[in-house]
Amino acid sequence: MFDYKLLSALAAVIEQAGFERAAQVLGLSQSAVSQRIKLLEARVGQPVLVRATPPIPTDIGRRLLNHVQQVRLLERDLQSVVPALDEGGMPERLRIALNADSLATWWALAVGDFCAEHRLLTDLVVEDQDVGLKRMRAGEVAACLCGSERPVAGARSLLLGAMRYRALASPDFIDRHFPQGVTPQAVARSPALVFGPDDFLQHRYLASLGVEGGFEHHLCPSSEGFTRMVEAGMGWGLVPELQVRAQLASGQLVELLADHCIDVPLYWHHWRNGGRLLTELTDHLAKKAGQWLVPLAPE
């Protein structure tokens, strides 16, 4: 059986980015908080924190934090039935994994009003849409946005729609690399931009054109930086249509092959027993996401 005073100390240290502020929130001395963390580590038999500035949870620490978050969500439901249990503490914090392109485009617009209304804080973990589900499988997050439909055990998935990506480049880049016109072979020979080692979107695009194999590419793990590099003529890349409508309209960016886009489905995964708050957030996203995402029929 867990001692939830110890787990609350761990959560406070991480959420408040240090022992001093955690002690203030908990109404304890700093040494008392430190003792609770040491006792928790003794009970689980391994460190739960990396003593850095700010402190960072270890793998087991992240799992424990996720457990605390799940318990808090369920307690929140009880407080609405038994008001005496409501101690008027800090707003709820929900740990969510999502892809950088959603964060850079539609995510805040979709959830901003919900977070304000429900006093919800978010702890966002940025992952590629193809690998975000591993965070839920590891028990590190309460929910995630990813490209995989099949949920992990104990979770549900909901198709929200798809992000539409277009292969774009600057006019100067096109003049330099495609003097005879844009062809699949010429695209494969020109420098590309790839978000990171888990990003295979450009590979999929070339494969859809009948071109296989490796290609020259920059690595840029920033959604905004990725677009800036395409604008600067450093390479071509698949960019969310949502992010560059103005640049396409002005001619600052040009599509390589007209009407040859890729739609990446986004599934919202969440705990089955995540409480009413998580259910309400899911319902909210189901209603709101369609304003920005492309409709897709479930497979």
From 86, 120, 144, give the residue that closes a domain. Answer: 86
Per the domain annotation, does 172 fall within a domain?
A: yes
* Token pair recorded at residue 122: 């978010």
| Whether the predicted model's global pTM rises above the 0.85 cut | no
Residue 204 has pLDDT above 60, yes or no: yes
Q: Does 54 sit behind a cis peptide bond, omega within 30 degrees of 0 on the bond before it? A: yes
| Kind and range of the H or E run holding 193 | strand 192-194
Per the domain annotation, does 182 fall within a domain?
A: yes
The residue segments making up the domain with residue 228 are: 163-263
From 58, 86, 114, give the residue that closes a domain. Answer: 86
Per the domain annotation, does 98 fall within a domain?
A: no
Per the domain annotation, does 74 fall within a domain?
A: yes
What CATH number has the domain bearing residue 42? Answer: 1.10.10.10
Residue 90's pLDDT band (cuts 50, 70, 90): low
Could you read off the pLDDT of 103-151 as tens digits, one per residue? 999 999 999 999 999 888 898 988 876 677 887 877 778 899 998 899 9
From 86, 110, 141, give the residue that closes a domain. Answer: 86
pLDDT at residue number 85: 46
In degrees and rounded to multiples of 5, residue 287 shows phi and psi of -80, -35
CA distance 124 to 135: 11
Percentage of the chain modeled with pLDDT above 70: 93
What is the count of structural domains for the chain?
A: 2
Per the domain annotation, does 273 fall within a domain?
A: no
Residue 299 has pLDDT above 60, yes or no: no
Could you read off the pLDDT of 25-69 as tens digits, one per residue? 889 999 999 999 999 999 999 999 998 888 888 989 988 887 887
Per the domain annotation, does 113 fall within a domain?
A: no
Per the domain annotation, does 151 fall within a domain?
A: no
CA distance 275 to 269: 14
Per the domain annotation, does 289 fall within a domain?
A: no
Spell out where 60-119 has E strands: 92-98
What CATH number has the domain bearing residue 172? Answer: 3.40.190.10
